[in-house]
Amino acid sequence: MTTTSTVAARRASGLVVLCALLAVAAFLSIAQGSRSIDLSEVLRALGSLGGDGTINSTVTVELRVPRTLLGILVGAALGVAGAILQGVTRNPLADAGIMGINSGAAASVVFAITVLGIHGVEFYVWFAFAGAIGATVLVYSIASMGREGATPVKLALAGAAVTAGFGSLTSAIVMTDIDALNELRFWQVGSLAGRYAPILIGVAPFLLAGLAVSLGCGRALNGLALGEDLARGLGQRVALTRAAAFGVVALLAGAATAACGPIVFIGLVVPHLARFLCGPDYRWILPYSMLLAPIVLLLADVLGRVAGAPGELQVGVVLAVLCAPVFVGIVRYARLAEVGP
C-alpha cells in the first residue's frame, strides 16, 4: 500500500470514528437533560416513534429529538462555514461573527421587533436569516470594490466595518426599546432551547443544501490556499470561487444563526481541530469539521442542561467557557496562522 493510500485510509478511519462519536453524542443529548428520565423510558419512547402519551415520552420525542437533530445540523453548518471562511479569506481567525453575519442577523431581528412588531423566534427567524445573508452580500460587495477585487485583507476589513456598523445600529435601537432588548438578549446568547420541530423543519432544507454543496468546495479552497497567482495559473477563476464560497457560507451560517442565535467559537475552533487531525487538505477538513462541530455542540448542550438543572445553561455560554482555553492552546501550540497546504 502506498503512502498516499495509507494516509487516505487513516483519514477515512477517522471519519468512521467521528460518526460513531456523533451517534453517542446524539444519544446522550436525547437521554440526558435537566429532567431526569430513565434510560428504559427513553428507549421505549424512541421505539414507539410518536411516543406513548406520557410526560417523559413527550419530552423525549417532541422536545429532545428535534433539539438534537437541530443541534447536529447547526453544528455541522457552523463548523463547515468556519472552515470555508478561513480558507477563502486565508485568515485563521475568520468566522461568522468577524465577517458580519451575526451582526446582520441581529440588526434584522431588531428591525422585526421594533418596526414590524414581530415577536417569538419562530416568526423572526426568517428576518434573522435574511439579515445574515444580506450582511454577507454587503461584505463581499464592499471588498470587491477596486482593481484587486475581494482580497483576503479587504474581506477582513469589510467584515470588521460591517460588524461595527450593524452592531452600533442594533445597540442604539435596543437601548431605547425595552421590548427589543428583552427579545434580543434571549436570542443573542446562542441556544438550542426552545428550538423545536417547526424551526427544524423551516431551516433544515437550507442547511442540508448548503452542506451538500460545501463538500464540493475542497479542491477550490486548496487552490486558494496556494495564493491567488498560483490559483489563477492552475486555471481557477478566483473571483467566481470566492463568490460561490461566500454564497455557501451565507446559506449555512445564515440559517444556523437565524435558528439558534450567534453560537460562538464553533466555527472558529473546530476547523483548527479538524486540520490537526487530518492535515491541511480541505477535501478532508470540510467533512471532519462537519462531524466534529455537532459533537462539540451537542456535548456542550448536554453539559449545560445537566450542570444547570433544574434549569439549564445556554450552549453559547458553555461553549465560551470550554472553548476559550482550547483556542488559546491552539494559538500557542498549533501555529494557527498556517491554514493552507
Q: Give the per-residue pLDDT at 292.
A: 96
Does residue 333 have a pLDDT over 70?
A: no
Residue 268 lies in a domain: yes
> Exposed/middle/buried for 115, CB within 10 Å: 0-12, 13-18, 19+?
exposed
Q: Which amino acid is at 72?
A: I
Residue 183 lies in a domain: yes
Which whole number is the average pLDDT over 220-246? 80
Q: Which amino acid is at 152?
A: P
Which whole number is the average pLDDT over 137-156? 79
C-alpha–C-alpha distance, residues 155 and 257, integer Å: 20
C-alpha–C-alpha distance, residues 282 and 275, integer Å: 8
Q: Which amino acid is at 309?
A: A
| pLDDT above 70: percentage of residues in the chain | 92
Residue 12 lies in a domain: yes
Give the other-Cβ count within 10 Å of 276's Cβ: 12
Q: Per residue in 11-57, pLDDT tens?
A: 999 999 999 999 999 999 998 877 777 777 777 877 776 556 677 77
Q: Which residue has the higher pLDDT, 132 or 187?
A: 132
Whole-prediction pTM? 0.87
Rank 25-34, 48-57, 206-215, 307-316 by mean pLDDT and report only the highest.
206-215
Dihedrals φ, ψ of 143, to 5°?
Answer: -65, -25
Which whole number is the average pLDDT over 221-231? 79
Q: What CATH number is given to the structural domain containing 172?
A: 1.10.3470.10
Dihedrals φ, ψ of 332, to 5°?
Answer: -80, -40
Here the cell at position 250 is 451565507
Residue 258 lies in a domain: yes
Give the other-Cβ count within 10 Å of 153's Cβ: 13
Does residue 290 have a pLDDT over 90?
A: yes
Here the cell at position 321 is 467557557
Does residue 172 have a pLDDT over 90?
A: no
Residue 338 lies in a domain: no
Q: Give the per-residue pLDDT at 307.
A: 83
Residue 339 lies in a domain: no
Q: Give the per-residue pLDDT at 218.
A: 87
Pick the range with the lowest mean pLDDT from 47-61, 222-236, 302-316: 47-61
Residue 276 lies in a domain: yes
- SS3 sequence, the chain? CCHHHHHHHHHHHHHHHHHHHHHHHHHHHHHCCCCCCCHHHHHHHHHCCCCCCCHHHHHHHHHHHHHHHHHHHHHHHHHHHHHHHHHHHCCCCCCCCCCCHHHHHHHHHHHHHHCCCCCCHHHHHHHHHHHHHHHHHHHHHHHHCCCCCCCHHHHHHHHHHHHHHHHHHHHHHHCCCHHHHHHHHHHHCCCCCCCCHHHHHHHHHHHHHHHHHHCCCHHHHHHHHCCHHHHHHCCCCHHHHHHHHHHHHHHHHHHHHHHHCCCCCHHHHHHHHHHHHHCCCHHHHHHHHHHHHHHHHHHHHHHHHHHCCCCCCCHHHHHHHHHHHHHHHHHHHCCCCCCCC
Q: Give the per-residue pLDDT at 109.
A: 81
Q: Which residue has the higher pLDDT, 51 or 265?
A: 265
Pick the range with the lowest mean pLDDT from 156-160, 179-183, 250-254: 179-183
Residue 194 lies in a domain: yes
Q: Which of 72, 62, 65, 56 is nearest to 22 (CA)?
A: 72
How many residues does this entry show for the chain? 341
Ramachandran sector of residue 314 (left: φ over 0; alpha: ψ -120 to 50; beta: rest): beta
Here the cell at position 20 is 460513531
- Indicate the number of domains in the chain: 1
| Structural domain boundaries enclosing 313 | 3-333
Which whole number is the average pLDDT over 281-289? 94
Which whole number is the average pLDDT over 333-338? 49
C-alpha–C-alpha distance, residues 78 and 255, integer Å: 10
Q: Which amino acid is at 267?
A: G
C-alpha–C-alpha distance, residues 302 and 315, integer Å: 8
